[in-house]
Amino acid sequence: MTRLLEAQPVRSDGKLTIKSLAEEAGVKRWVLTHRHQDLQAEFRDRIAAHGTDPEPVRALKERVETLTAENRRLREQLRETRSTIAMLERHIAVEALESNRAPAAPTPARTLRPVPEPVQPAEEPPSDPKG
């Protein structure tokens, strides 16, 4: 019990459970749950008095909480992305329908203008190398 409570397990995973206590003691779990219920009760009392999980268990619980929050954030982002995609699909469908529809009134022809030629800069006189 002491090794588990001090987060220094030798034979178990370090969790504060009856299963880990049995592994740490080198006995079958049923021995603690049926034959030595007094040890089981003492272990639960010591856990309550100790109040915290061992460091490896606490670290794993924090990691689970972090990953759960990240998962929640990614699911929300996915939901928003799917919503945006659906909206864009509707816009594309409307644009496609409007482009296929015959115009009600003829539009005036647009005139094309030529692109102006780029202006060539005037040549500069050669500079005096003597300064």
Query: Which tokens go with 36?
Result: 């030595």
Question: Which residues does 58 contact at the CB level (< 8 Å), separation at least 6?
Answer: 52
Helix orientation angle between 18-25 and 37-50, rounded to the nearest 10 degrees: 110
- Give the helix/strand (H/E) hosting 88: helix 55-100
Whether the Cβ atoms of residue 9 and residue 3 lie closer than 8 Å to each other: yes
Percent of the chain having pLDDT more than 70?
A: 77
Q: Which of 15-24, 70-79, 104-113 has the highest mean pLDDT?
A: 70-79
CA distance 54 to 1: 12
Q: What is the mean pLDDT of the chain?
A: 81
pLDDT digits (tens, 9 = 90+) for 1-58: 888 877 788 888 888 888 888 988 888 888 888 888 888 888 888 888 877 776 777 7
Q: For 78-98, what is the mean pLDDT?
A: 92
- Per-residue tokens: 122: 């005037």
pTM of this prediction?
A: 0.43
